[in-house]
Structure 1
C-alpha cells in the first residue's frame, strides 16, 4: 500500500485512508468514488482488500452503493447517522460454559427472499436450516435460526449443538469453512407467537431482534443467523471513545468530586 502510517490489517488501512479523504472533502457529498479497479491500482492491493474496505465504509455510512452505477460519498443525511459499534469475532464465537443449545429442528428449504438477499443467493436456491433455543444458566436466553447455503453446507448434525461451543462455527468448520469476519444488526420488535412460547413470554412482548451475517476470507456470505433475545437477560454495553482512540482509564471519584 502507498506509504500509509496507519497500523492494522491492510483493508483497514485502505478503509481509514478513504474515510480521511471523504472527511477532508477530497470526495464531496454525492461524488462517485474511483472504481474498485482504480482503487486497487492506487493502493497497490487486491480487489478483495478494496471490497472489504468499501464494505466497512458502507457499514459506517461514509459511502452509499448504487446498484449498477457505483459507490458515492454519503450526503450529510447519511453521515449524521454514522454511529456503529464494533465487536471482536473471537468474543462472539468464544466458548461460554454458561450457555447451552437446545436444538428444535433441522431441515433443507428454499431460501426466503430475505435470506436469499443476505446470502446473495438466487430466489430458488436452497439453504440448510436449523432452529435453536439458547439457554443462559439453564434459562431461555435467545431463540434463533441459522441459514447456510446448501451448496456449501450439505448437512447439519445434532452433534453440532452439544457442549458449549457455538454451533454456527462447528457447522461451518465441519464443512471446511472458516469465519473471517461478520456484521450484526440489532433492532426492536414484538415477539411472534411461536418464539414467545420458547422464551416464556407473551406474544407481542417488546424484544431485541438480531441478524448476524458471517463471511469467509473471500467476502462470501456463509451463514445468516437470526433470533430474538429475552428482554430481561440481554445487555449491550459499549465504550465510547474518540475514533482510533483507546478507552480512558477509569479513576474512582474522590469525596471532593462527588
Structure 2
C-alpha cells in the first residue's frame, strides 16, 4: 500500500484484492482473510479494511455470510445494456468464458394472448417454443423460454446448443433492437433444479421482444436469471 498516494488506502486494498480475484489467485467460494488478518498483513486499520470489503461487496466481488466469514463470490456474467443487441454466447465470450445450452424442450404451441401481442401473430397461430438452460463456463445462469413465429421453423434444423443469433445472421436476419422489461419471481421446484439453486430463491425475470432490421419480431423470450451469476448494467 502506498500511504503517500492520493488514492484512499481502502480503495488501494480493494483493488489489490480485486486483482487477486480476477487473476484467479483467489478462487470463487474461497474463504477470505478476516478483517484482523487483513489488518495485520497490510498494516492497515480495521476500519480501512472494513471499508475495502464493503466496497467489494457492493461491486459483487465478495459476499459476506453471517457468522461464517467473507467469501469470493461466484463469477458473474456481466452484461451492459446499451443500443447493441448481443446474444448470450457473445456476452459469455466477451467475458472470457464459454457459453453452452442444455435443451429442455422443443414444441409447437398455439399462441396465447401474451405471445400474440408480442410477436404480432394472428390469433390461433402456432409458434415454436424452445426452452433452454444457458450456461457460462458450465454453470447454469438462466432459463430461456423462447417463442418464435412460424417463419423461424428453420431453427429445428439447427444445433440448438449453440447461438441462435449466429444462425439468424447467417440467414440475413439481423437482430437490431428490443424492448425489455424486468421483474422479480421465485424459483419453482423444477426451475431450482435446472439452475442449481434453492426452491423459492428470488430470480430476475427479464422479458424481451427482439426485432430485426425490418422491424419484424424475431422472438419473444422470458429469461429466469440467477442474479448470483449474472449482473446487468444499463448504459443510457
TM-score band w.r.t. shorter chain:
0.5 to 0.7
1:223: which partner in 2? 219
3-state SS of 1:155 partner: helix
1:131-190: per-residue Cα shift (whole Å, max 9, x none)? Answer: 10111111111111111101x112323743344xx32x1443466532121122221111
Say if 2:192 is the partner of 1:193: no
CA distance in 1, matches of 2:119, 2:134: 23
Query: After superposition, where does 1:103-252 map in structure 2 within 5 Å?
Result: 103-150=103-150, 152-157=151-156, 159-163=158-162, 166-167=163-164, 169-173=165-169, 176-238=172-234
| 1:193 positional shift | 2.8
Which secondary structure does the structure 2 equivalent of 1:153 belong to? helix
Moved more, 106-115 or 175-184: 175-184
Question: Residues 86, 227 of structure 1: CA spacing in aligned structure 2 closer, same or farther, 3 A cutoff?
Answer: closer
Aligned residues: 152
The separation in 2 between residues aligned to 1:127 and 1:174, in whole angstroms, is 22
Query: Is residue 102–residue 134 contact of structure 1 (8 Å, CA) maintained in 2?
Result: yes
Closer, same or farther: CA 180–91 of 1 in aligned 2, 3 Å: closer
8 Å contact kept, 1:111–1:124? yes
Shift of 1:201: 2.2
Length-normalised TM-score, structure 1: 0.52
Would the aligned equivalents of 1:207 and 1:229 in 2 still touch at CA under 8 Å? yes
Contact 2:186 2:202 in 1 (8 A): yes
Deviation at 1:104, TM superposition (A): 1.5
Q: Secondary structure at the match of 2:168?
A: helix
**2:83/2:177 contact within 8 Å kept:** no
Normalised by the size of structure 2, how large is the TM-score?
0.57
CA RMSD of superposed structures (Å): 2.5
